[in-house]
Structure 1
């Protein structure tokens, strides 16, 4: 249980730093792409949350 929680938290940290890096590159080249980035980040978070909810619902 603890190992799974650590794994999920580490995946979220990797995704967070990856998205921050992508945001840095996008702001450098296209300053108007900021809303598009946030829409993509929200979609990514919704997909991850849906996957986690389905995963834990299937186990019960």
Structure 2
């Protein structure tokens, strides 16, 4: 995981896209096949999933919208 200022980048796992978090917005959520991975990475980054206010899918490929 990489943090640049207020941007958090969670590397994709297997076929997932990378996931980006900016403030209370999450961009692209991966395939949905690795939810435990996503939630563990959020916890490691100090992000409470309940604090996410908006999900943005940059486009509709399967690896971005799970």
Same fold (TM over 0.5): no
Q: Of the two, which has the highest radius of gyration? A: 1
TM-score of the pair, normalised by structure 2: 0.31
* Structure with the bigger percentage of helix: 1
Whichever structure has more strand as a proportion of its residues is 2
Looking at both structures, which has the greater relative contact order when contacts are Cα pairs under 8 Å and sequence separation is at least 6? 2
